[in-house]
């Protein structure tokens, strides 16, 4: 099976399982046009503009992440449909957006907080990406989707408990709510913003602020 066919069939299966009928029918046409005419035009026309394939979102953290990375694989393989999968090129095309731990921070005092859902996203992005790349290399994306929907992929080195512990040791607070942090529970300021932290391993895992955050008003850690 060609990598493009594998990615399309995997996406068709996933959309079926997610109950997304409109786009499942679209992908079914993509499959037919590829098998009949070796054409990728219809599939590529799904990207871009309002109401496009890029606008789909799912509430479930893991299935939504699976959809996003599989969508990236479909787009890449539509441009490289028949050759041996170049996993480094695929990984590069998928980018690194979203690989930070997102949460909220008070820009006045430095109080930082993440939710359990933020932690789930952080783990899902890494685990799913790793598996998508591994299975794409061997054109097993369709098989992977079936197993991933039945049983959530996992990584013993990256669990919710471990990430929460790293976050706490980095001075972050953990909360259930995913609502805005306003006012700050520490100083009462309304000057709060979405914030991102990078995971570094320098003598132990810890989270440090990403370079693209708004600046703090103080020298708070």
Each residue's pLDDT tens digit, 36-79: 999 999 999 999 888 899 999 899 999 999 999 999 999 999 99
Please name the residue ranges forming H helices in 38-159: 41-44, 61-79, 87-94, 116-137, 141-150
Q: Which of 147-151, 187-191, 202-206 has the highest mean pLDDT?
A: 187-191
Angle between the N-to-C axes of helices 116-137 and 160-169, in degrees from 0 to 180, rounded to the nearest 10: 130
Asked whether residue 163 is domain-assigned, the answer is yes
Domain for residue 215, yes or no?
no
Asked whether residue 219 is assigned to any structural domain, the reply reads: no
User: How many structural domains comprise the chain?
Assistant: 1
Q: pLDDT-derived band of residue 220, with 50, 70 and 90 as boundaries?
A: very low
Nearest in space to 69 (alpha carbons), one of 41, 47, 95: 95
Residue 37 lies in a domain: yes
Average pLDDT over residues 124-149: 96
Report the number of secondary-structure helices (H) and strands (E) in the chain: 8, 5
Whether 218 is covered by a domain: the verdict is: no
Range of the domain at 150: 3-209
Residue 108 lies in a domain: yes
Would residue 97 count as lying in a domain? yes
User: Is 43 among the domain residues?
Assistant: yes
Q: Given this model, what pLDDT does residue 69 score?
A: 96
Structure tokens at 5: 């066919």
pLDDT of residue 218: 55
Q: What distance in Å separates the CA atoms of residue 67 and residue 88, rounded to the nearest whole number?
A: 20
Locate the DSSP E strands across the chain.
Answer: 101-106, 112-115, 173-175, 192-201, 205-209
The whole-number pLDDT of residue 221 equals 43
pLDDT in the model for residue 202: 83
């Amino acid at each position: 099976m060609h990598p493009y066919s594998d990615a399309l069939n995997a996406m068709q299966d996933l959309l079926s399982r997610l109950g997304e009928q409109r786009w499942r029918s679209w992908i079914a046409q993509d499959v037919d046009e590829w098998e009949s005419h070796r054409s990728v035009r219809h599939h590529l026309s799904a990207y871009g503009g309002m109401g496009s394939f890029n606008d789909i979102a799912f509430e479930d953290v893991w299935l939504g992440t699976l959809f996003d990375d599989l969508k990236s694989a479909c787009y890449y393989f539509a441009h490289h449909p028949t050759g041996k999968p170049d996993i480094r090129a695929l990984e590069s095309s998928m980018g690194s957006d979203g690989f930070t731990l997102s949460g909220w921070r008070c820009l006045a005092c430095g109080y930082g907080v993440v939710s359990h859902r933020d932690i789930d996203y952080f783990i899902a992005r890494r685990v799913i990406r790793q598996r998508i790349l591994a299975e794409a290399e061997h054109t097993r994306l369709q098989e992977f989707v079936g197993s991933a929907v039945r049983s959530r992929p996992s990584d013993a080195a990256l669990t919710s408990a471990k990430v929460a512990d790293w976050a706490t040791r980095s001075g972050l607070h953990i909360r259930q709510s995913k609502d805005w942090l306003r006012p700050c529970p520490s100083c009462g300021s309304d000057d709060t913003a979405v914030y991102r932290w990078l995971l570094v391993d320098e003598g132990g895992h810890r989270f440090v602020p990403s370079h693209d955050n708004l600046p703090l008003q103080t020298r708070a850690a």
